[in-house]
Structure 1
Amino acid sequence: MNTKPYTNEYHPALDKYIHLVPDGNLVDILEEQQKNSILMLQDLSEQQAEFKYAEGKWSIKTVAGHIADVERLWNYRILRIARGDARELPGYDRDIFAVSASFDKLPLVNILEDFTAVRQSTITLIKNLEEEAFLRLGLFNDHPLSARAAAFVIAGHEAHHRKIIQMKYLSQLTIE
């Protein structure tokens, strides 16, 4: 899949994620993101992975866990839409998810393994959908949502958070 979704395929608030996805094959982009994210985080100590750049902000572990959780939610939306179940898709509360997940109690390696498993699931889901399925529409936040747009949101959401990790977290850490 190489074509970005049109703006009539998604809620305007999702544009900030979709525009972060570079041109190219989405599966290739997702695979490259996975590799880069793992390389960026795998050598952090547990203490470094629990770093928060400001009071009230999430740790690196929580951000990484959040990326996997959100990707799971978007995979569910892709699956529902692609399979023709166009009923209204629910949102979620990211802060409830983050607190309930207790990512800081998990070893970083477990969080990265989970991200890898979720990303592989995303890739196989996308690879196995026909073009017609990507163009199907569901309803999300009272706006149309195509399976294609949902897939691009996954890549854009990860890019958004990777940039934040690089700029606001890793820039303040001394990586040994």
Structure 2
Amino acid sequence: MAMLRKPESTEYASYFGQYIKLVPEGYLADLLAEQSEQTKSMLDQVTEEQGSFRYAPGKWSLKEVLGHIADTERIMSYRLLRVGRGDQTMLPGFSEEAFVSGAAFDQQPLKYLIDELAVVRLSTLSLLSGMPDEAWMRKGNVNGIETSARALAYVIAGHELHHCRVIKERYLSAVR
């Protein structure tokens, strides 16, 4: 995978900007691999009981946040695959609330969810490593907005960065 530069704001929906701006410059594949290790390390000392913690009524549990990160990465990777391969089919949006409520993450062991994040990331890294250089600038229709493959790769990294910050500030600080 070649070194990617951050996408221009014309390459993605404005709401993706909150995630993309969090990603530092550098080799994205290296960042994603390091990020996976950092996330696992951050979660290694969390107990099963702490995985069910909600920092406020109506908020997701820590387990649900982890499931959401994995689900979103799967969806963004799928979109990246379609766009990067030149598929012009309109790709629909998704409801993160429906995905979380339909998954029963709280009933799954915390260790499984942590391992699942790592497996999903390995799959993403495999996809990225096989993308030809010209694929990164290809654009497709994602939820009605023209989006580049590279923007989707950056969304994956930034989305996890965002949620790891939330986990540290609102979950781990409260349970330790």
Q: What band does the TM-score fall into relative to the shorter chain? A: over 0.9
Q: For 1:117 and 1:25, how far apart are their aligned partners in 2?
A: 20
What's the secondary structure of 1:172's corresponding residue?
A: helix
Measure how far apart 1:113 and its partner are.
1.2
Correspondence for 1:17? 19
Q: For 2:165 and 2:132, how far apart are their aligned partners in 1?
A: 31
Deviating beyond 3 angstroms after TM superposition, the runs of 4 or more aligned structure 1 residues are none
The one-letter amino acid of 1:82's match is: G
Q: Matches of residues 47-86 of structure 1 in structure 2 within 5 Å?
A: 47-86=49-88
Correspondence for 1:145? 147
The one-letter amino acid of 2:136's match is: F
Q: For 2:66 and 2:34, how far apart are their aligned partners in 1?
A: 16
Q: Does 1:45 align with 2:47?
A: yes
TM-score by length of 1: 0.96
What's the secondary structure of 1:88's corresponding residue?
A: coil
Q: For 1:44 and 1:170, how far apart are their aligned partners in 2?
A: 8
In structure 2, runs of 5+ residues without a counterpart are none
Give per-residue Cα distances to partners, 1:65-113, cap 9 Å, x unaligned: 1000000000100010111112211111111110111111000111011
Q: Matches of residues 22-171 of structure 1 in structure 2 within 5 Å?
A: 22-171=24-173
Correspondence for 1:7? 9
Q: For 1:10 and 1:155, how far apart are their aligned partners in 2?
A: 15
What's the secondary structure of 2:146's corresponding residue?
A: strand
Measure how far apart 1:142 and its partner are.
2.2
Kept in 1: contact 2:69–2:159 (CA 8 A): yes
In structure 1, runs of 5+ residues without a counterpart are none
The one-letter amino acid of 1:80's match is: R
Kept in 1: contact 2:19–2:158 (CA 8 A): yes
What's the secondary structure of 1:85's corresponding residue?
A: coil
Q: For 1:21 and 1:73, how far apart are their aligned partners in 2?
A: 19
Q: For 2:88 and 2:139, how far apart are their aligned partners in 1?
A: 7
- Tell me how large the CA RMSD over aligned residues is: 0.8
The one-letter amino acid of 2:57's match is: E
Count matched residues.
174
